[in-house]
Amino acid sequence: MSGAFDGTKHILPVRVYYEDTDFSGIVYHANYLRFAERGRSDFIRLAGVNHRDMAAREPSLAFAVSHMDIGFHGPARIDDMLSVETVFTHAKGARMRAVQRILCEGRLLWQARVDIACIDMDGRPRRLPADIVEKLAGYVSSDMSLALE
């Protein structure tokens, strides 16, 4: 499952399974991070950026979350069908920013602003290669409608 773009917004459907919940049947808080990671990864993949290709460069490159602001707004429960929405609002230099939210039937459950760094395998920041900036350019939006409330 890789989701789809709606303009510059990527939407990834995610089903909540038993393994995603705690003893109360509510999604364990850390699993929202997993859902969001899948949303960002699938966004980047569908935009034409391949993680294996980045690792094969000289020097090898990867993305790493450098900062995240999170807001929890409501619980998700077992069997819920969630929608992970991702919008990248910045991609230049060595940094990218994404705004994400997770909804269930249109109800906001979770929201985050995520700063991402392009790094080498020693953890040092590296400029985003021009071809990656070019691939992402058509998907980066200044639309802050998903901004943290």
Marked catalytic residue, from 6, 22, 69, 120: 22
78 vs 22: CA distance, rounded Å: 10
Mark whether 22 is an active-site residue: yes
Q: How many residues make up the chain in this entry?
A: 149
Beta strands in 1-149 (DSSP E): 4-6, 9-15, 61-72, 81-92, 95-104, 107-120
- State how far Cα 143 lies from the chain centre: 16
Strand partners, 9: 6
1 vs 134: CA distance, rounded Å: 25
Q: Which residues are catalytic?
A: 22
